[in-house]
Amino acid sequence: MCDQTFLVNVFGSCDKCFKQRALRPVFIRSQQLSYCSVCAALMAAEGLHENETLASLKSEAESLKSKLEEERAKLHDVELHQVAERVEALGQFVMKTRRTLKGHGNKVLCMDWCKDKRRIVSSSQDGKVIVWDSFTTNKEHAVTMPCTWVMACAYAPSGCAIACGGLDNKCSVYPLTFDKNENMAAKKKSVAMHTNYLSACSFTNSDMQILTASGDGTCALWDVESGQLLQSFHGHGADVLCLDLAPSETGNTFVSGGCDKKAMVWDMRSGQCIQSFETHESDINSVRYYPSGDAFASGSDDATCRLYDLRADREVAIYSKESIIFGASSVDFSLSGRLLFAGYNDYTINVWDVLKGSRVSILFGHENRVSTLRVSPDGTAFCSGSWDHTLRVWA
Amino acid sequence: MAVGLDQIEKMPAVHVEDLSEKDKLKMEVAQLRKEAKLQRQQVSKCSEEIKKYIEARCGEDPLVKGIPEDKNPYKEKAGCTIS
């Protein structure tokens, strides 16, 4: 298990705004003070703008934005699908539902695979979180949350715990036990506390830390054992709906997507936003890193999925069709990154050829919106969850 | 200072509306200046790398090449016959 130590922030009263927050050291005229992350960011910004007026700031923002556009455009010498013209086309796909997991009493909102490639955790509007064995379709664990709309759930890397949350504004961790006499709910540990709904959560490389995204516009990194806030990420202008951690080889970053139509890439250690992308025309419901970590895909209410390359710092492909007018709720890549699976609000799953930009297959089966979709850890299957109360495993 | 288990640490409520227009713009300009300094690569180079990455792994991608029925853990459960 990876031992990542992050700078543990002191928690106390900010020297500037006096609110009780996680603090970091700042230096003003050689004096060390403790500021919260917001005051620290404002101070950094202030240092650059002594006597700026609102108007001059606005014009600087505009000119920087057009400069960024220009710089990005200069490097846009070709389209991804042009580079892929000579790549062999994919054959016919025969993917069908192999298992249907029934048991939720209401809309399935989220699901995640266990690293053992067979167990699945799912959460629902009815407040229930269920752990399934996808091979046998047996339910192995079930817990009822004190709230409805459990919008996020995640499996711990060890397979020994799950995390979930939603309208309770929290992220809670439940250890999984096979002792029939133990009540799962009794061992519940509240880890994260936001000021609005929890929209997404993910363990980092170990069971010790959890990353959360919330309707309060922030993302946060928490220590599971103590519940302490390790780092907070501010920058989205509206609800954050999704997040995904970079594959471990690529280092400590993650991407988030929100209702402000932006996808933002963050440095987990510093809390800083490294890059941001704003080409979608509506809420971004899902973001997923490409297997190499050099790119990520997004699915949006604007009915498109897009691929953003991090080294080129721009969108490099758009997956859309005139006939697709409903939002994409969830996206994931196949093992090699050749296929992009996307679940839509029109009840279908579209399979896209990532390189050529064309749709290779459309899968029917769900009887309501597809709300969540993940490919299994070894790439042999993928699972979709829907408002029709079921989950389907496709292979 | 460790936070006791009974004091669940609250996420600082930084609602963007709480900041003044000027403060928001200052943060935005500071962020844009950082982003403007980013080293970028040609799309052709990056796309070439994505293509190579995929081509190297495509052959081993179960969902792309398909899995023979007998090796698929999700194959339809066959009926049993008792003889």
Q: Which residue has the higher pLDDT, A276 or A251?
A: A276
Distance CA A230, CA B46 (A): 34
Using the Cβ of A18 and the Cβ atoms of chain B, whether some distance falls under 8 Å is answered with no
Report residue A95 as tokens. Answer: 């993917």
With b for 16 or more beta-carbon neighbours within 10 A and e for fewer, the A324-348 pattern comes to beebbbbbbbbbbbbbbbbbbbbbb
Contact B32 A21 (CB under 8 A): no
Least confident of A2-6, A355-359, B48-52: A2-6
Q: Residue A45: list chain B partners with CB under 8 A.
A: 23, 26-27, 29-30
User: In this structure, are residues A76 and B41 in contact, taking their beta carbons and an 8 Å threshold?
Assistant: no
Confidence label for A9 from pLDDT (cuts 50, 70 and 90): low
The CATH superfamily label for domain A98-394 reads: YVTN repeat-like/Quinoprotein amine dehydrogenase (2.130.10.10)
Chain B nearest-CA residue for A394: B74
pLDDT of residue B18: 61
Q: Residue A44: list chain B partners with CB under 8 A.
A: 30
Could you read off the pLDDT of A257-273 as tens digits, one per residue? Answer: 999 999 999 999 999 99
Task: Give which of A386, A315, A384, A316 is closest to A351, Cα–Cα.
Answer: A384
Could you read off the pLDDT of B54-79 as tens digits, one per residue? Answer: 999 998 999 998 888 788 888 766 54
Least confident of A82-86, A248-252, A296-300, A333-337: A248-252
Chain A nearest-CA residue for B16: A237
CA neighbours within 13 Å on the CB side: how many for A246? 18
Please give the angle made by the CA atoms of A307, A290 and A340, to the nearest 5 degrees. Answer: 65
Using the Cβ of A26 and the Cβ atoms of chain B, whether some distance falls under 8 Å is answered with no
Burial of A11 (0-12, 13-18, 19+ CB in 10 A): middle
Instruction: Give start-end residues of each CATH 2.130.10.10 domain in chain A.
Output: 98-394
Q: Residue A313: list chain B partners with CB under 8 A.
A: 38, 40
DSSP secondary structure string, chain B?
-PPPTTSPPPPP---GGGS-HHHHHHHHHHHHHHHHT-----HHHHHHHHHHHHHHHHTT-HHHH---GGG-TTPPPPP----
Using the Cβ of B78 and the Cβ atoms of chain A, whether some distance falls under 8 Å is answered with no
Could you read off the pLDDT of A157-214 as tens digits, one per residue? Answer: 999 999 999 999 999 999 998 776 677 888 899 999 999 999 999 999 899 999 999 9
pLDDT of residue A117: 95
Average pLDDT over residues A324-344: 97
Confidence label for A49 from pLDDT (cuts 50, 70 and 90): low
Using the Cβ of A337 and the Cβ atoms of chain B, whether some distance falls under 8 Å is answered with yes
User: In this structure, are residues A282 and A241 in contact, taking their beta carbons and an 8 Å threshold?
Assistant: no
Phi-psi category of residue A326: left, alpha or beta, with phi > 0 → left and psi -120 to 50 → alpha: beta
Measuring CA to CA, how many Å separate A346 from each of A100, A134, A301, A324, A353? 19, 25, 11, 8, 20
- Order the strands of the A198-203 sheet from edge to edge: A198-203, A209-214, A218-223, A229-234
Give percent above pLDDT 70 in chain A: 94
Q: Which of A37, A217, A226 sits opposite B2 (nearest CB)?
A: A226
pLDDT of residue A6: 44
Average pLDDT over residues A8-19: 77
Segment (H or E) for A45: helix A37-48
**Count of CB contacts below 8 A, A vs B?**
234
Contact A90 B67 (CB under 8 A): no
pLDDT of residue A318: 97
Average pLDDT over residues A275-281: 95
Q: Residue A72: list chain B partners with CB under 8 A.
A: 40
